[in-house]
Amino acid sequence: MRISLLCLSLVVGLAALPVMADDMPRPTGDAVLTVSGQIEHANVEQAAVFDMAMLETLPERSFETTTLWTEGKTSFAGVALADVLEAIGAEKGVIRASAINDYTVEIPVDSVSATAPIIAYEMNGEPMSRRQKGPLWIVYPYDSDAEFRTEVVYSRSIWQLDRMEIVQ
């Protein structure tokens, strides 16, 4: 029932959006990330749906940092959020990022830099399972700058990410 409600709202939302070209390659594997809203490129019903292979075609970024939620130094690898935004043609507005348990945070596009945050898909060289905050986790290099050790950034560090919506 929840699913149907969700589907309904999606359909209503999409109907209101301007028609976009489905000019992105379609996902072939399981979808891991769905981006909707004010985007220029889409592949499935005006949304940009990524499987893991598609994410891996984007440049890989990695760093080491400690986090509040892990023990000791942890290395992360993934794609820069900025690269994803560029791939879908989102230049402004706010990203509403949601987790599989519907936890949602807002990240202004302006706050996204070329290197931080990343959408991590590997932790310590291993893919992350859902039980380990996987498969995708928005991670900042917390150790590199005090700017990344704030309440706001911690709250934006959303794990078990599965969808994003770009809104104005």
Question: CB within 8 A of 17, min separation 6: which ones?
Answer: 37, 46
Any contact of residue 5 with another protein (CB under 8 A)? Answer: no
Q: Are 153 and 80 in contact (CB under 8 A)?
A: no
DSSP character for 25? P
CB atoms within 10 A of CB 79: 23
Task: Give the C-alpha separation, 16 to 29, whole Å.
Answer: 29
Task: Give the C-alpha separation, 16 to 22, whole Å.
Answer: 17
Among 100, 104, 108, 113, binds another protein (CB under 8 A): 100
Any contact of residue 75 with another protein (CB under 8 A)? Answer: no
Place of tokens 């130094």: 73
Among 39, 160, 161, 163, binds another protein (CB under 8 A): 160
What binding mask, one character per residue, do residues 40-69 give for another protein by CB under 8 A, x or -? --------------------------xxxx
Any contact of residue 154 with another protein (CB under 8 A)? Answer: yes
Any contact of residue 129 with another protein (CB under 8 A)? Answer: yes
Any contact of residue 155 with another protein (CB under 8 A)? Answer: yes
Compute the least distance from the CB of residue 146 to another protein, in Å.
7
Any contact of residue 146 with another protein (CB under 8 A)? Answer: yes
Any contact of residue 19 with another protein (CB under 8 A)? Answer: no
Any contact of residue 115 with another protein (CB under 8 A)? Answer: no
Task: Give the C-alpha separation, 119 to 84, whole Å.
Answer: 9
Torsion of CA 146, 76, 27, 18, to 10 degrees: 0
- In terms of CB distance, is 103 or 108 closer to another protein? 103
Summarize as ranges the residues that interact with another protein (CB under 8 A): 66-72, 100-101, 103, 129-133, 146, 149-151, 154-155, 159-160
